Structure 1
């Protein structure tokens, strides 16, 4: 009985494995049977939810907020008082061949957070998760 079941299993396996190939020596990218089971598309062409979210955030929020930088200028009047004026200056485009430095990124991050804080000024603040946990009857205070 075990020889019969072994023979049936071997035959079924052989048929399943041979069904995925049309011809011998066909590259996987040209195999129509394989494409009907698992079509090959690049991940870049489809993209995922995280990538779409990051791309839209970069385009709609990061780039506009980091293009304009506040620059403070201090001038001393003849009577000795120091006058500080803040002007918004557009950051020039960086050269693609220019080397990346962490300081440039940190400066952009600071400008982004300052711009975000100015934009959110006066708006009601969303409660943090710690505050929400604190309001729970069993977990909270």
Structure 2
């Protein structure tokens, strides 16, 4: 009787474990109705916030920060290119150094350069908006 119980437990364990292994191998769903709603093989499209952030980084942040002389000298690699004009002048151009690791200090320096180029002047300050509101009570 004990041998029958242990055999049944071992057999049951093997069946359960075999079922777990097989279900992990069939990741794409064979259910067509489920695939209509949520296709696991489909591409993930970036959302609105990600698109806006990517556009801002490409069109506003990178050009502004990369033009700053301090950032260029400290974090970018200098590349000499031959001038296209008739003289033999060489033009200095700085490009992003891909081999260097990004540091927090680099971000702080780039943020300072961006803030210097785009001063806020408190136009959109929430503190100024709250101070300009009429006081109720008191």
1:57 aligns to what?
A: 56
TM-score (norm: length of structure 2): 0.51
State the Cα deviation string for residues 40-93 of structure 1 (Å, max 9, x = none): 3343xx11111111101101110110111246xxxxxxxxxxxxxxxxxx7722
- Residues 7-51 of structure 1: CA deviation (Å, up to 9, x unaligned): xxxxxxxxxxxxxxxxxx7934252232023223343xx111111
In the alignment, the residues of structure 1 paired with residue 124 and residue 137 of structure 2 have an alpha-carbon distance, to the nearest angstrom, of 14
Unaligned runs of 5+ in 2: 1-22, 71-91
Aligned counterpart, 1:92: 94
The TM-score, its normalising length taken from structure 1, stands at: 0.50
Unaligned runs of 5+ in 1: 1-24, 72-89
Contact 1:65 1:112 in 2 (8 A): yes
CA distance in 2, matches of 1:38, 1:65: 40
Aligned mate of 2:126, from 125, 129, 137 = 129
Rounded Cα–Cα distance in structure 2 between residues aligned with 1:37 and 1:97: 42
Q: Which has the higher contact order (CA 8 A, sep 6+)?
A: 2
CA contact (8 A) 1:65 1:115 kept: yes
* Cα shift at 1:140: 8.9
CA RMSD of aligned residues (A): 3.3
Question: Deviation above 4 Å: which 4+ runs of structure 1?
Answer: 138-141
Partner of 2:116: 114
Count of matched residue pairs: 93
